[in-house]
Amino acid sequence: MDKKKKWFGIIVILCWLIAVGISLGIYSEFVSKMIYEESSHHLTEIYAQVAKSVYGIVEEKWKILKIWDTHLAHMDDSDEMRSFLQEQKEEWNFTDFYFISSDGNYYSPDGENGFIDLKDQMARLVKDRESVAMHIAFPGRTELQVYAVPSKGGIYQGFHYDVIAISYDNSALLHTLDVSAFDGMAGSYVVSANGRVMIDNVGDLERSTFNLLAYLESHAQMDKQETAFLKQEFLQGNEGVVTFSMQGEKYYLVYQPVGVQDQVVVGLVPMKLVNASMNRVQRVTMIVFICIVALSGLLMLLFLVMKNREKLKKKDMDILYREELFGTLSNNVNDIFLLLDRKDFTLNYVSPNICVQMGIRRQDIKSCVRDIEQEFGIIQNLKELAVAEHRQWEHEYTNKETGEVRWYQLLAYRADICDCENCVVVLSDRTQEKRMNQSLLDALELAKSANEAKSNFLANMSHDIRTPMNAIIGFTTLLEHDAENPDKVREYTRKLSVSGRHLMGLINDILDMSKIEAGQTTLQVTDFCMTDILEEMQSIILPQTRARQQTFEVTTEGDIPGEVQGDKVRLNQILLNLLSNAVKYTQEGGTISLRLEAFPGTLRHHTHFRFIVADNGYGMSGEYIQTIFDPFSRENTEQKREIKGTGLGMAITKNIVDLMGGTIEVESTLGEGSVFTVNLELLNCGVQKKGFLREDSVAESSESDEKHSLSGLHVLVAEDNEINAQIIMELLRMEGASCELTVNGQETLTRFESAPPGTFDLIFMDIQMPIMNGYEAAKRIRICGHADCATIPIIAMTANAFDEDVRRALDAGMNAHMGKPMDMEKLKHIVSDLLGRTEI
């Protein structure tokens, strides 16, 4: 594949080079053609001018001869004629003037006579009356251009003439052939149609010639066809431009008919002169183009090289990566790889993680591997391994370094690598799995026991719940029956209340436990006074202990700080649970004590509190103590069986203590009593802030100094449940408040908006309502723009008393939260706080 790619690359590069070459060639050809056409045109124009000059000279001579002829015809005196001609000679610089007879004899003004052989031109002059121009050469004389015109005829010194003519040396006419445009480098000729040179301005003897066509054929690289073409062109009097090479240099040959006889003006101009500027442009363009191509080629090459390097680097990196990866993997995975030769089972490779996995030192690898092979039975298994077969087995291994026991699964198979028969053995560490399996089995057992405990709890709870429910239903039936008997009604009502509270306690405990297990319990950290806690405990427990003729004392030790930060409610709950249990599980006349010890805490600004709840009650068995903090755990003794409880109190207490970061310990002796010690560290702080009121932040003591009343309040009650609505309304009426009922959030909003300001004193808002829930209704009320919208207290009523619910109520703009079923005293307290009123 790589080879194919390589050849493909080479072909691509070759194609690119060919394409570039062809492009260059086409461009060069195009430019050359343009240059040639341009130059040809330029040269044609120049030499047209030259030909025109030459013809112009001829024409001019003819013209003046005709003029002179007219003058001479009017002269009778030879002297006058001679004088006239002498003047003309001085003015026109001709070499000689000729009176010519039809025989070809001439007579000059000075009396010289001779023969001027005009050949067939004489017939043109004399018979056809046409002017002629000829190139004349005689031995011993310079070559002349003779211009002759037919004369009217006359006599000069007795010589009858029919033609007059003047002659010029060739040298006098050379200037017409000079083309200054080419720095004198152009060779110009006037030739006859057969190439015979009549005039040339070539100073260089080497280029001087008698016959230009012969010269070109012998000196220039012109073949017969080309010279034949030129001959034809000259004969036909055509104009044109051709190119040829001579002595390594290229020339333009431009030819133009003069228009006199068969004379042609021919120019030989070096191409480099004509094309100088165009060539420069072409050269520069080519250079630029080549540079661009070269640069792009270079860039491409660089790019390819870099890409290749990158590729190689990547490959190296890949290899390195794979090596590293393999090394890392092999070091970090639990699988150990062994590569052995099939023939003699020589170890060819072992992954380095064997050191870590098996506690082998690097220098001992070889020897240890042999031992491993032996221990794991590898060789034996490999010997039995057939082609295309793999074998799997497990083995337990003890790490020599750490003594750890690990379980390995071995997989052996044959592999031909680079035509060598090898065997690969993979040792996979399965210890984790093994342990997990074990854990799962343990968890299963635990779940089974928990399930069993739950089942027991349910079984117990069923009884515990059914009992007060039974009382409630029973007493309700009796109420119905004895409705006319106020005493019975009161008795029944009281008992209904007790059963209800008991049932409430059961449900609360169950809910608390489920919250704890769900991890939804959070601490409400506030500032509180520890002495208040003690006082509250005293006020709550004392009546219970008095009822059972028990003694209860509260003592402190140490420097108790004024205020600390913590969850007062939860702390109350802990102490209440412990003290309630102490009361419950101490016989009548027993002793219960609460001791608070305060030390400086291990953390800065913290105080270490130790709460010790002791009693001399029934005590617990050592066996039970092990499970006392387990949910639904109750000692199943005759004495305690009768005592009501959910079996969740201690579990809840333990969870709360754990949540607070404290510890709880128990010491107990069966029949002698128990001691519960709770250790907590709380932060010393300032005054406790007042915040969102919730029912559980309200003081438990029903014997508060202040009485709170709802009398005279007009309350808007939002409650979709008819029964709950009835209860609330009735309770409110009992307290002297009036109320209106709405059944959903939208109705509540509408009613509030439509009510004049001050109509309602507060709103009780259920949360779970159709159309619009309580949160939404509260939000809308707060922004509706009613005069009371910002100030009217809104109290949430919900069965959900989780902290999340409380937070949502706060976020919705509510002022307080009441859980269901509603505690009127708490409610009055909250209302009192919200409205700032006491008993009216």
Partner 1 sequence: MSKKNRVRVITAVAAAMAVMLLGMLLWSRSAESDWKEKEDAISVYLWSADLMTDYAPYIQSQLPDMNIEFVVGNNDLDFYRFMMENDAMPDLITNRRFSLYDAKPLNDQLLDLTYTQEVGTIYLAYLENYTNSDGTVNWLPLCAEVDGLIANKKMFEQYDIDLPTDYDSFIAACQAFEEKGIRGFAADFAYDYTCLEILQGLSIPELTSMDGQFWRHQYEDTTSAVNGLDDKIWPGAFQRMEQFIRDTNMQEDDVWLDHGKIEEMFQNGEVAIIRGTGAQVIEYEAVDGIDPLFLPYFGQNGEEWLLTYPAFQVALDRNLESDAWRKEQAFRILDVMLSEEGQNFLAQKKDVIPYSRNVKLELSESLSNLQPYIEKNRLYVRLASNDFFAASKDVVQKMIRGEYGAEQAYAAFDARLKTPKDKTEETVRTFTQGYENIFYQQGGNQAFSVMAGTLRKHYGSDVLLAPSYCFTGAVFEADYTEEMLENMIMPNALEAWQREMTGNELKQFIRILVEGEDGCFKPFNCCSLPTVSGITIEVEEKDGSYQLLGVLEDGKEIREDKLYGVTCLDKACYLEPIANILFPQEGLAGFRKEERLVRKEWSSFCRDDGELSKPECYMILHDQSLEKGKGDYTE
Under the rule (CB under 8 A), what is the footprint of partner 1? 102-105, 112-117, 119-120, 122-123, 126, 135-141, 143, 194-197, 209-211, 213-215, 217-218, 227, 231
CB of 209 to partner 1, least distance (A): 6
Q: Which is closer to partner 1, CB of 2 or CB of 344?
A: 2
CB of 225 to partner 1, least distance (A): 14
- Alpha carbons 213 and 191: distance in angstroms, whole number: 10
Give, in order, the Cα–Cα distances in Å from 558 to each of 608, 610, 640: 10, 10, 36
CB of 208 to partner 1, least distance (A): 10
Q: Which is closer to partner 1, CB of 140 or CB of 686?
A: 140
Instruction: Write down the residue that tokens 């999340």 correspond to.
Output: 804
Q: Which is closer to partner 1, CB of 260 or CB of 778?
A: 260
> Exposure pattern of 638-658 as b/e (b: 16+ CB <10 Å)?
eeeeeeebbbbbbbbbbbbbe
Give, in order, the Cα–Cα distances in Å from 812 to each of 753, 770, 780, 796: 17, 17, 9, 10
Beta-carbon count within 10 A of 178 CB = 14
- Alpha carbons 663 and 677: distance in angstroms, whole number: 8
CB of 269 to partner 1, least distance (A): 22
Q: Which is closer to partner 1, CB of 217 or CB of 615?
A: 217
Take residue 198 and report the two structure tokens written for it. Answer: 């009549």
CB of 140 to partner 1, least distance (A): 4
Instruction: Write down the residue that tokens 């390819």 correspond to.
Output: 304
Strand partners, 122: none
| Alpha helix ranges (H) inside 645-744 | 649-659, 722-734
CB of 271 to partner 1, least distance (A): 24
CB of 217 to partner 1, least distance (A): 7
Backbone angles phi and psi of 361, in degrees to 5: -80, 150
Backbone angles phi and psi of 252, in degrees to 5: -100, 135
One DSSP character per residue, 180-241 reads: GGGTT--EEEEE-TT-BEEEE----TTT--SBHHHHHHHHBS--HHHHHHHHHHHHHT--EE
**Is the separation of the CB atoms in 373 and 336 below 8 Å?**
no
Backbone angles phi and psi of 418, in degrees to 5: 50, 50
Q: Which is closer to partner 1, CB of 98 or CB of 760?
A: 98
Q: Which is closer to partner 1, CB of 122 or CB of 506?
A: 122
Q: Which is closer to partner 1, CB of 167 or CB of 279?
A: 167
Q: Which is closer to partner 1, CB of 196 or CB of 250?
A: 196
CB of 257 to partner 1, least distance (A): 17
Q: Which is closer to partner 1, CB of 215 or CB of 408?
A: 215
Measure the N-to-C terminal CA separation of the chain; round to a whole number of Å.
99
Q: Which is closer to partner 1, CB of 102 or CB of 467?
A: 102
- Alpha carbons 689 and 213: distance in angstroms, whole number: 125
CB of 266 to partner 1, least distance (A): 14
CB of 218 to partner 1, least distance (A): 7
Beta-carbon count within 10 A of 614 CB = 19
